[in-house]
Amino acid sequence: MFDVIAAPCLNRTPRALAGKLRVLQRGAGMVLAGHYTPVHRGRLTAVTLETVTFGRPRTIGFRLVRGPVPYLTEEFTLAEHDGTTTLGYSGELGTGSGTAGRWWAARVATAREAAVRSSFTGIQAEAQRRAGPGIARS
């Protein structure tokens, strides 16, 4: 499961993700990547620059370098039990203070949550494809 998530960053980015991800630099255990996320009903695209770190086989972390908010960290965690892998997600978003900051945080959080849901759907589909026929799926 770790390889399913990490492969687009660590290996050649698949054509299917070319419009969403561009790895700018690869290093030992970390990449610098641009992420392209549709916002505002798909009429605009938010471009973020993030470091992605890999703690094989349990964690993949994301830290915002440049983007629409001053602070954003996210982490995927993997846990295996009885042959089943559970994928978890946590994140922290920081914004400016006051009413405007809270308003903007709500907009950015909504877009990020949609992007994470989409990632989970893609991860599940790819993991099931790799598992092949006859493997229990959930």
Residue pLDDT, tens place only, 115-132:
888 888 888 888 888 887
Sketch out the chain's domains with CATH numbers.
2-131 (3.30.530.20)
Residue pLDDT, tens place only, 49-77:
999 999 999 999 999 999 888 889 999 99
Residue 136: is its pLDDT beyond 60? no
Residue pLDDT, tens place only, 96-113:
788 888 888 888 888 788
Residue pLDDT, tens place only, 18-57:
888 999 999 989 999 998 877 777 788 878 899 999 999 9
Q: What is the 3-state secondary structure (H, E, C) of the chain?
A: CHHHHHHHHHCCCCHHHCCCEEEEEEECCEEEEEEEEEECCCCEEEEEEEEEEEECCCEEEEEEEECCCCEEEEEEEEEEECCEEEEEEEEEEECCCHHHHHHHHHHHHHHHHHHHHHHHHHHHHHHHHHHCCCCCCC
